[in-house]
Chains A and B, each alone.
Chain A
Amino acid sequence: MSIENQAAPTTPAGRTGDGAPANLTHGAGASVTMPPRGPEPQPRGAIIRGNHPIDQQEAARRFMAAPQHLAMHDQRLWDLRQKRDKQKDTIEEWEDLRQLASDIKTHTLTHLDTYLEQFERNAKANGVIVHWAKDADEHNRIAVDILKSKNAKRLIKSKSMLTEECGFREYAGDQGIDVVETDLGERIQQLDDEAPSHVVVPAVHKLRTDVAEVFARTLGSDPNDSDVSYLTEQQREHTRPLILTADAGMTGCNFAVAETGSVVVCTNEGNADLSANTTGLHIVSMGIEKIIPNLNSLAVFVRMLSRSALGSPITQYTSHFRGPRRGAEMHIIIVDNGRTDRLGLEKFWTSLKCIRCGACMNTCPVFRRSGGLSYGATYAGPIGLIIDPTFNRHKYSTLPFSSTMNGSCTNVCPVKINIHEQIADWRQVLAENHEIPAFKKSMMKAAGALLASPRLYRASLPMADSALRHIPRFMLYNRMNTWTRGREMPSVPKETFHQWFKRTRGKDGKKKS
């Protein structure tokens, strides 16, 4: 994660308006529109109300009401998508690679038992201590037990979506363990007590001025200095000592290679190496779906991961952790947390192929305009829409509707998950299991009845001479006309096609001469 490329706000405080002398902005006669005072506050994510379904649209509306954030977020992620396209164009066999990556994942997911056991055998032979956790609680307990057994008080860790999924940081904190994130973006999010908004660029929704505010509040830096070098240095000065005096390290796992028993972590900051090697204890959190058969298959994924994610040929660091350093200890916690259940879902199991590149988020026009935190779930964006309901069908029942199902996500997915089709499938599952709002369901029932009857359908169409020149009910579905909040209504023609045809062609359909 880098904050260097983030656009500066277009109307920062103090910048003068059109043509007025800098010293006269407040002066008599200097009639200019004043820019907003101070930086635009960061819009926050979805409001979580226990188990109530997430209102993504409400959070998205707040995000879109912050023009600087919206413009920066959309442009930054669109840039990533464009860089990804350029990288794709440099590789002649790109589409073959996607197919190959997808096939390798199909193969391993359908032979998980074999490969996981092979992995465990080889990891143990390398001197690694392997643990199995069936869910988040067990993962958290195992990790904290290891830490306590070593009397570890401070844990440095690199970014891991699995630990986010498990709520590990909070759990460890409650158990008296000070967790320090070593990925810059993730550290920003930790300091701001906010979840990552994106799987690869966790603070991408923040402007530099937001980071300055967070650092001022938590590190005591100058709130008015949003210079990138300054901010980075402040963070470094503050966090380095914590890292160097830590007692234990933790990393996630991008790929677990069965034939070697090694875990591979890809970072751009080298912070996985820092987390793994600074102390004498390295704990790896690994989801069972991270397994791949061998180094040859790893080569396929390494070619795709960063190209898809950031549009760079490869991450700065691709670190292979094979076993503990001399005198050190290495643990791997292999976590299920709902994955085998997901594997059993006929329409949705291929979502386990995901390598967390975030390409679907970068290309998603809804994600770019609403920010990852608007989804109120660990996994945001298109992949989130199809994974989150497997964790909690009710709470995340609204998410599959936060999509136009345009299919761009499916096209950029390096492992060819049919994301937009699964979004459609989730809608069906949710509708059939009474997990969509009753008003929506009854509207659809009414629309279905109307559209199945030519007579009712004809009667519902607006008449040109009607006092109510409004969109027909079958398209609007409700009395509150949401259409016109951001758009004009289409004008209603004098006659429908049907009427025109009847008038000019007659019922036999032949042209009247």
Chain B
Amino acid sequence: MRVGLFVPCYVDAFHPEVGQATLELLERFGCDVDYPFDQTCCGQPMTNTGCHKESKATEELFVRNFKDFDYIVGPSGSCVNHVRNNFDAVEQTDEVKHVREHTYELVEFLHDVLKVDAFPWAEFPHKVTLHNNCNALRGLNIASMTELREKKFSKPRDLLSKVKGLELVDITRPDECCGFGGTFSVFEEATSARMGQDKARDQAKSGAEYVTSSDSSCMMHQEGCARRLGLPTKYIHIAQILNGARA
């Protein structure tokens, strides 16, 4: 199985350890992983701002980089959701369709495609609370949503439950958006920061030592808010926990 490793721009720049954990994790499960050197971004920042034409070339580049893989896997629900559900600026060729259909967020890839049942190397004896990115949740459906009347499920929880010693705790508003919202975080800075601070307070109140998520973007924002408020909560990507990070 040839897997193209998709490392979103902010993971590349700020959280290389998340890309490393994703790569190692996929290799542990026998995937033939390659990292296309010419990758940049998925185009979401422009599309999110309404500028579809401006994201066309970036989307085309993405397709050129990843068209030859069986699967494309990235540690970010938000970017994967963009590729799968909003990749509309490019002409919908067979290659584009292939890329859209075979791009997976790491958790769903482990859960649905590899159907992983154990992480023998993983041990994380800490209280952890889970944050689901809104796109991962409502776009990729990695877990049931509190707004809908549906059977409860959570792919990231399923995976985390296989980690020795890890104790999951809940916050009071689990599905509430943290306010990152891509370019929203910059253009509508005040509301964004307030939402992030509220989220960080909720997380700290839960007694969790760590927040984990399959999205670094939300956590980058939340961590920035937590630091500003002087809260002790630590933030770690789910790929790192599943790959056996100790703390």
A residues with CB within 8 A of B: 57, 60-61, 64, 74, 78, 85, 88-89, 91-92, 94-95, 363, 365-366, 369-370, 400-408, 410-412, 420, 424, 426-432, 436, 440-441, 444-445, 447-454, 457, 461-462, 472, 474-478, 482-483, 485-493, 495-502, 505, 507, 509
Contact = CB atoms under 8 A, between A and B. Distances in A.
B186 A85 contact: no
Contact of A448 (B54, B150, B190): B54
13 contacts: A74-B198, A363-B147, A366-B188, A369-B195, A369-B198, A403-B181, A404-B179, A420-B138, A427-B49, A448-B57, A451-B57, A477-B183, A500-B20
A429 B57 CA distance: 19
Contacts of A95: 148-150
A155 to B, nearest CB: 39
Given A370-B191, A410-B138, A493-B15, A444 B147 contact: no
Nearest to B42: A451
Interface in B23-62: 23, 34-35, 37-41, 43, 45-58, 60-61
Contact of A405 (B13, B181, B190): B181
Contact of A57 (B188, B196, B197): B188
Given A74-B198, A406-B181, 16 more contacts: A88-B149, A402-B191, A405-B184, A407-B134, A430-B50, A431-B51, A445-B54, A447-B45, A447-B46, A451-B41, A454-B37, A490-B224, A492-B14, A497-B16, A497-B18, A501-B19
A461 B198 CA distance: 30
Interface stretch (B103-111, B157-165, B169-177, B204-212): B169-177
B145 A411 contact: yes
Nearest to B181: A404
A397 to B, nearest CB: 10
Given A445-B54, A509-B35, A440 B49 contact: yes
B220 interface: yes
Contacts of A453: 40
Contact of A486 (B43, B60, B190): B190
B92 interface: no
A501 B41 CA distance: 17
Contact of B196 (A487, A492, A495, A496): A487
A85 B146 contact: yes
Nearest to A477: B186
B202 to A, nearest CB: 11
Contact of A507 (B37, B192, B225): B37
A499 B10 CA distance: 14
Contact of A451 (B9, B37, B198): B9
Given A447-B45, A490-B14, A436 B50 contact: yes
A424 B91 CA distance: 19
Contacts of A440: 49, 187
Secondary structure class of chain A's binding surface, majority of residues: helix
Interface residues of B, number: 81
Nearest to B137: A407
A342 to B, nearest CB: 19
Contact of A407 (B35, B39, B49, B138): B138
Secondary structure class of chain B's binding surface, majority of residues: helix
Contacts of A88: 147, 149
A496 B12 contact: yes
Contacts of B17: 493
A445 B51 contact: yes
A482 B9 contact: no
Nearest to A409: B147
Nearest to B44: A451
A369 B56 CA distance: 34
B37 A500 contact: no
Interface of B: 7, 9-20, 23, 34-35, 37-41, 43, 45-58, 60-61, 86, 134-135, 137-139, 145-150, 173, 175-177, 179-198, 220-221, 223-225, 227-228
Contacts of B147: 85, 88, 363, 408, 411-412
Contacts of B190: 57, 60-61, 64, 485-486
B46 A408 contact: no
Nearest to B38: A454
Contacts of A451: 9, 40-41, 43, 45-46, 55, 57-58, 61
Q: Top 4 nearest A-B pairs by Cβ distance?
A: A486-B193, A427-B50, A404-B181, A431-B50
B46 A448 contact: yes
B191 A64 contact: yes
A157 B75 CA distance: 55
Contacts of A509: 34-35
Contacts of A472: 13
B138 A457 contact: no
Contacts of A366: 188, 191, 195
A357 to B, nearest CB: 13
B138 A490 contact: no
A496 B193 contact: no
A494 to B, nearest CB: 9
Given A88-B149, A94-B149, A95-B148, A486 B58 contact: no
Contact of B49 (A60, A363, A431, A500): A431
A435 to B, nearest CB: 9
A490 B20 contact: no
Given A407-B138, A408-B138, A497 B19 contact: yes
Nearest to B145: A411
Contacts of B145: 411
Contacts of A454: 37-40, 61
Contacts of B146: 85
A33 B66 CA distance: 61
A401 B184 contact: yes
